[in-house]
Structure 1
Amino acid sequence: MQLRHVTGSIADFHARVIPDDLADAEVWSFEPSAPALVLGSAQDHTTASAAATAAAGIDVVRRRSGGGAVHVDPARSVWIDVVVPRHHERWSDDVRESVYWLGEAWQRALARLGIASELYRGGLEQTPWGRLVCFAALGPGEVLVEGRKLVGISQRRTKAGARFQCIAYDRWDPYDVLDLLDMTAEDRAVAGADLAGRATGVGDRLAELRAAILEELVEGSGPPRRGPTPPPMH
């Protein structure tokens, strides 16, 4: 797999498409230039609180993959995308099974840090807040530690291939995202109490985790083959 380091805005990163002529799978190690609230493809901007996001100086962005809202802070998260063309050995027509190998790679990366984990192999979990907040529910291939979601994975499939978007945090605080959404104070309090134990993070080991998952994703073809680094996005 080709390894590419990408910087820039979250909006520009989500606008990247899977190239039709992609020769090999690619790993995009993304480091955003600023925080943002990222909405799922089925959500619109009214999901976010305009007043809260403006007060926090947070951009609101929609991604093309499914799932609920995600709060992204470059100082507190690891974000890796994996792009798999249809002709690649990792491609699968089965949407659920197509992501298991990626979840297993995250498990091996966590094991390098001495962290035991579990792979979720069920279908998309239906929970009270799952359509609103990404980390409120589990999806195929996602990774748990002690029963709590640690790695979130969303997927977008096109005629060119599949793009898997992965994120893990240093710590999980449901109000990081809930405080930016347009909801009543009562619903926010209920959701916060329900989601407090749903997910977890890796503490101050984000840099170690990024290094470990990148090594896991590229080691199958020998030393990392670094493609040209795209120019910074503005």
Structure 2
Amino acid sequence: MRHVAISGSMADFHARPIPEDLAEAEVWEFHADQRGLVLGSAQPESTADPVAVAVAGVQVVRRRSGGGAVLVDPATSIWIDVVVPRTDPRWSDDVRASTYWLGEAWQRALTTVGIETAVHRGGLEPSPWGRLVCFGGLGPGEVVREGRKVVGISQRRTRAGARFQCIAYDRWDPTDVLDLLDLPDGDRLAAAADLAGRAVGVGDRLADLRAAVLHELTA
């Protein structure tokens, strides 16, 4: 799998199409030039609180894959996309099973850095705030540690292939993303209480995890 390092605008990165003439699978290692609130494909821009994001200096963009909002900070998160053409042996017509191999690659990388995890092989497990915040729910192929999400994976499929978008954090604090969303105070408090135990970060092993998963995907 070919490794492509991409730096720059988050908006430009998420606007990249799946190449129609892609001959082999690619790993897009993305380094954003600023913090960003990335909304899911079905979330309106009004999901974000315009005052809060302006004060925080956070760019708001929408990705083309589904799911809820995520906060991307180049200092505290990893964002890696994997693009697979339909001719690739890893392609699957089964949308749910199509993510398993990728979750397994992340699982092996996490084992390399000393974190034991499991790949979720069931269907979508919704939660009260899972449609609003990505790490609030659990989807096929995502990676968990003692039931708490460690790696989020979403996907977009076209005639050319699939684009899998992956993110992991050094720590999980739901208020990081909730404070940027347009929510009544009561909902914000309820969401923070519910989401606190649904995910977990990898601590000071984030850089090692980046290297390990890139090795797993490109070796």
**TM range, smaller chain:** over 0.9
Question: Partner of 1:159: helix, strand, or coil?
Answer: coil
Q: Which residue of 2 aligns with 1:45?
A: 45
Q: Which residue of 1 aligns with 2:181?
A: 181
Q: Which residue of 1 aligns with 2:99?
A: 99
Distance apart, 1:124 and its partner CA = 1.3
Distance apart, 1:172 and its partner CA = 0.1
Distance apart, 1:214 and its partner CA = 0.4
| Gap runs ≥5 in structure 2 | none
Q: Which residue of 2 aligns with 1:199?
A: 199
| Gap runs ≥5 in structure 1 | 220-234
In structure 1, what residue type is equivalent to 2:183?
M
Say which structure, 1 or 2, has more relative contact order (CA 8 Å, 6+ apart). 1
Q: Which residue of 2 aligns with 1:65?
A: 65
Q: Which residue of 2 aligns with 1:211?
A: 211
Distance apart, 1:205 and its partner CA = 1.1
In structure 2, what residue type is equivalent to 1:105?
A
Give me the whole-angstrom Cα distance separating, in 2, the residues matched to 1:143 and 1:30: 20
For the aligned residue pairs, the C-alpha RMSD in angstroms reads: 0.6
Give me the whole-angstrom Cα distance separating, in 1, the residues matched to 2:102 and 2:209: 14
Q: Which residue of 2 aligns with 1:141?
A: 141
Distance apart, 1:27 and its partner CA = 0.4
Q: Which residue of 1 aligns with 2:160?
A: 160
Distance apart, 1:114 and its partner CA = 1.4
Question: Partner of 1:135: helix, strand, or coil?
Answer: helix
Q: Which residue of 2 aligns with 1:190?
A: 190
Question: Partner of 1:205: helix, strand, or coil?
Answer: helix
Task: Give the share of equivalent positions with the same residue, in percent.
Answer: 70
Give me the whole-angstrom Cα distance separating, in 2, the residues matched to 1:193 and 1:54: 25
1:4-43 correspondence runs (5 A): 4-43=4-43
Distance apart, 1:146 and its partner CA = 1.6
Distance apart, 1:123 and its partner CA = 1.1
Q: Tell me the alpha carbon deviations over residues 135-183 of structure 1, each in whole angstroms, 9 at most, x when there is no partner.
A: 0000100000121100000000011000000000000000010000000
In structure 1, what residue type is equivalent to 2:217?
L
Give me the whole-angstrom Cα distance separating, in 1, the residues matched to 2:75 and 2:146: 24
Q: Which residue of 2 aligns with 1:230?
A: none
In structure 1, what residue type is equivalent to 2:38?
V
| 4+ residue runs over 4 A deviation | none
Give me the whole-angstrom Cα distance separating, in 1, the residues matched to 2:157 and 2:197: 31
Q: Tell me the alpha carbon deviations over residues 39-72 of structure 1, each in whole angstroms, 9 at most, x when there is no partner.
A: 0001010001011111111111001000000000
